[in-house]
Amino acid sequence: MPGPDGWDDDADATDAVAGVPFRPMSISEMLDGAIAGIRHRPRTTLGLSVAVSTVIQVTSSIAAYFFIGDEARDEVTPDVLLDSLGAQLTLTLLGLVLSAFGILLLAGLVAPILGRELVGLPIAPRQAWRDARPRLGRLAGTAATVIGVSLGALALPLAPFFASIGAGAHPAVGVLAGIFGFPIGIGLMVWLYLLFVHAVPVVVLERQTVGGALRRAVALSKGRWFRTFGTLSLAMLVTVLMGFVVLRIPFLFAQLVFFGDSSGSGPTMGALAVDTVGRIVSWSVVMPFDAGVIALLYMDRRMRREGFDLDLRTRGRSAAAVAAAEDDEDEGFIGLWRSGRVPARPGTGAGS
């Protein structure tokens, strides 16, 4: 950040060291910045990711073993994987919902890390946790609300479809309800998820309530829905390629070799353990990337819509002064994000 305010003397040097340029970012810069955040702070980001991923994947495995039923338990052995399509779809949906919740939760936890990288402030080993801990409950509530609203939007258009099945109506009625209900439900789910996704970093960095964070996310999303959609779609492609293909292959191979022709509770537990470890490893690697992209989307929107970078350059405070006031939320790092709103960057507006 060049200028007399004492932040950084060389913007290019800041970009090279931090990997997160303090200016409105292109989509490729946000993807690169998320990777740079992991690379520069691997112990912090991967440590948080392993903790979140372990809880989520172990929970998913417990559900698979105890709550789905005996038929689903056998599905973890590869040679009978397709015996019960319904149970497998249930497990898949549960895993996706839990993983989406974990990504949102982690996005709030890594937002202070990338935020400090963005403005050139030092990051102590436990600093990210100290930044996020006071809002951990609201962070979990916000992530759960975003997921719940999105799933509710998916379920509502499907209600006639399931009602027709439950009432034993003519098959043509159910087919017609499904043809219209599924596309509408999926579209509403994606639209609302992207509309509220900024709420996760907001609740941590701006110290908002859950409701305030959701309203703030809607305001930040105005005119930028398609940009958010494109950025997160690219991030999802990377996640699918790495998390579901590259990183899982060794563990799937181990399942086929050691448990492919086995049956019984012992081999089933062994196969489930290998599958759980594979999911923990793969998601621990890819979750910080998705979470980092969400956090950087929020920061990019703050700079594009509110001129956050220009405002910070003109406040007359140095990075040293902000670092020295860490114990004061209004004067320290959090205070930078909680400051009053500023006009949009010159030449931009709500649709920028």
For the residues of 173-185, what is the DSSP string, one character each? HHHHHHHHHHHHH
Dist CA 296 CA 201 (whole Å): 9
Is 343 a member of any domain? no
Is 202 a member of any domain? yes
What would the DSSP string read from start to end of 188-230? HHHHHHHHHTTHHHHHHHS---HHHHHHHHHHHHTT-HHHHHH
Is 204 a member of any domain? yes
Which distant-in-sequence residues (6+ apart) come within 8 Å of 13 by Cβ? none
Strand ranges in 245-337 using DSSP code E only, listed in sequence order: none
Is 347 a member of any domain? no
Q: What's the total number of domains in the chain?
A: 1
Is 345 a member of any domain? no
Q: How deeply is 88 buried, as exposed, middle or buried, from its count of CB atoms within 10 A (0-12, 13-18, 19+)?
A: middle
pTM of the model: 0.81
Length of the chain: 352
62: how many CB neighbours lie within 10 A of its CB?
12
What is the per-residue burial (b if ≥16 Cβ within 10 Å, else e) of 162-193? eebeeeeeeeeebeebbeebeeebeebbbebb
3-class secondary-structure state, position 348: coil
Is 142 a member of any domain? yes
φ and ψ of 233, to 5 deg = -65, -45
What would the DSSP string read from start to end of 98-166? HHHHHHHHHHHHHHHHHHHHHHT----TTHHHHHHGGGHHHHHHHHHHHHHHHHHHHHHHHHHHHHHHH
Token pair listed for 305: 């819509």
Is 149 a member of any domain? yes
Token pair listed for 77: 């052995």
State the pLDDT at residue 339.
56
Dist CA 258 CA 181 (whole Å): 43
223, 229, 235, 241 alpha-carbon torsion, rounded to 10°? -170
Identify which of 43, 53, 9 has the alpha carbon closest to the alpha carbon of residue 290.
Answer: 53
Decide if 115 contacts 206 (C-beta within 8 A): no
State the pLDDT at residue 186.
92
Dist CA 202 CA 82 (whole Å): 42
Q: What is the pLDDT along the chain (352 residues), one digit of tens a residue?
A: 333 344 444 444 344 345 678 888 888 889 888 888 888 888 888 888 999 999 988 888 887 777 654 544 444 444 444 445 556 667 778 888 888 999 999 999 999 888 888 877 777 767 777 888 888 999 999 999 999 999 999 888 888 877 877 777 777 777 787 788 888 989 999 999 999 999 999 999 998 999 999 999 999 988 888 899 999 999 988 888 877 677 777 777 777 777 665 555 555 677 778 888 888 888 888 889 999 999 999 999 999 888 888 877 776 655 655 665 565 555 578 878 875 444 444 555 444 5
Identify which of 120, 180, 122 has the alpha carbon closest to the alpha carbon of residue 156.
Answer: 180
Is 45 a member of any domain? yes
347: left (phi over 0), alpha (psi -120 to 50) or beta: left
Structural domain including 23 reads 11-338
Place of tokens 């990075």: 319
Dist CA 288 CA 51 (whole Å): 12
Decide if 138 contacts 234 (C-beta within 8 A): no
Q: Side chain identity at 290, as an amino acid letter?
A: D
Identify which of 136, 133, 115, 138 has the alpha carbon closest to the alpha carbon of residue 335.
Answer: 115
